[in-house]
Amino acid sequence: MNKLIFLGLFVLIITSCSKPEPRKPIIRKTSSFMSESIERNRALNKLEEDLLHLKMQRDSLHKYISSEHGFWYYYQEKDTLSNRFPVKGDEVVFTYEIKDLRDSIIYSKEELGITNYLVDKEELITGLQEGIKLMKEGEIITFLFPSYTAYGYTGFKKIQANQPLIYTVELNKIKTKN
């Protein structure tokens, strides 16, 4: 009987100690997730652009200009004499306010104060970085930014996620880089 138990244990040990087999990697198909995510973003961008176009259509007082960076703007005060635009490294001094599409103020000029910004050397929302480079000293421009050129899907404090914004910016000074 002891030999039988010993033989059974021996067979069990031998068969359980076979060579380890490598596990095959688990393949997860992310293409469907990515496709769904892309479609969601396209639908969201289309909705935002439709809302912005509706806003522009209802505003018969201003002529909106489409930028190559995905936002729209119009001049409240335009300088037709100067040809000096800020370039990389220049310091600009500006004030601005932020509104939602219903023209409700989210952040007032007083709340935000005077802003100093080194062009293309400091962080700002993408739309404002590109918008400032379209301005001359003394100009006031109103920008309509879709959320993907503003705070995107994260939002920021009083600004909701995926919220298109209206910025009114006054460029007070351009200080040339050294």
Q: Is residue 9's pLDDT more than 90?
A: no
pLDDT of 29: 62
β-bridge mates for residue 173, sequence order: 93
- Give 36-175's CATH code, choosing from 3.40.50.300, 3.30.70.141, 3.90.1330.10, 3.10.50.40: 3.10.50.40
Tokens encoding 16:
């359980």
Backbone region of residue 162 per phi and psi (left: phi > 0; alpha: psi in -120 to 50; beta: other values): left
pLDDT of 138: 92
Task: Give the tens place of pLDDT for each residue, 82-132.
Answer: 888 999 989 999 999 999 989 999 999 999 999 999 998 888 888 999 999
Q: Which of 135, 90, 134, 92 is nearest to 116 (CA)?
A: 92
Task: Give the tens place of pLDDT for each residue, 12-62.
Answer: 666 665 566 667 766 666 667 788 888 888 888 898 888 889 888 998 898
pTM of the full predicted structure?
0.76
Task: pLDDT band for 161, please (50, 70, 90 cuts).
Answer: confident
Q: Which helix (H) or strand (E) holds 2?
A: helix 2-16
Least confident piece of the model among 6-10, 94-98, 125-129, 170-174: 6-10
